[in-house]
């Protein structure tokens, strides 16, 4: 079976400013929010990259969904329960740091997909973007 990517729905009615990616403050709200963590999946491309790079440390937290060619993220390797926070985020002072930032899953690279996603979890990005225009 050919792997497929899980489509990510973008709410086009809530355009995001172009600078949203650079506005991350490291607040950790996305990486430590149980509700958001429960919705995360790895794409087929993520899985292939991690296999190619020998990233068993990441793969052990990915429960494969062979019928979709992707995986459910962050599943405890022993208990098989969904984690309530990313296993690769670490507190550094008052901020959070991603230990797999260079190879993080596509769902993390694309965060946020809509404005309400940030406000629902208390993300600090909207405060950083106050007054900026939506991207064209």
List, for the chain, all residue ranges whose pLDDT scores fall below the cut of 70.
Answer: 1-21, 131-136
- Give the pLDDT score at 13: 42
Q: Would you tell me how many other CB atoms lie within 10 Å of the CB of residue 87?
A: 19
Query: What is residue 15's predicted lDDT score, i.e. its pLDDT?
Result: 58
State the Cα–Cα distance between residues 62 and 52, nearest whole angstrom: 15
Query: According to the model, what pLDDT value does residue 104 have?
Result: 95
Predicted confidence at residue 66, as pLDDT, reads: 85
Query: What pLDDT is recorded for position 35?
Result: 84
Sorted by where each begins, the domain ranges of the chain are: 18-129
pLDDT for 57-84, tens place per residue?
999 999 998 888 889 999 999 999 999 9
Separation between Cα atoms, residue 104 and residue 21, nearest integer Å: 14
């Amino acid at each position: 079976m050919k792997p497929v990517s899980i489509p990510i729905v973008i709410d086009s009615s809530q355009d995001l400013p172009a600078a949203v990616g650079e506005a991350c403050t490291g607040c950790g709200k996305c990486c430590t929010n149980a509700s958001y963590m429960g919705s995360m999946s790895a794409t087929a491309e993520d899985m292939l990259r991690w296999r190619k790079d020998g990233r068993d440390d990441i793969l052990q937290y990915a429960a494969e969904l062979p019928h979709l060619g992707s995986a459910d993220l962050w599943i405890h390797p022993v208990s098989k329960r969904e984690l309530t926070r990313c296993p690769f985020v670490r507190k550094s002072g008052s901020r959070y740091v991603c230990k797999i930032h260079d190879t993080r899953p596509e769902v993390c690279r694309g965060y946020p997909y809509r404005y309400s996603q940030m406000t629902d979890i208390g993300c600090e990005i909207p405060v950083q973007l106050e007054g900026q225009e939506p991207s064209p």
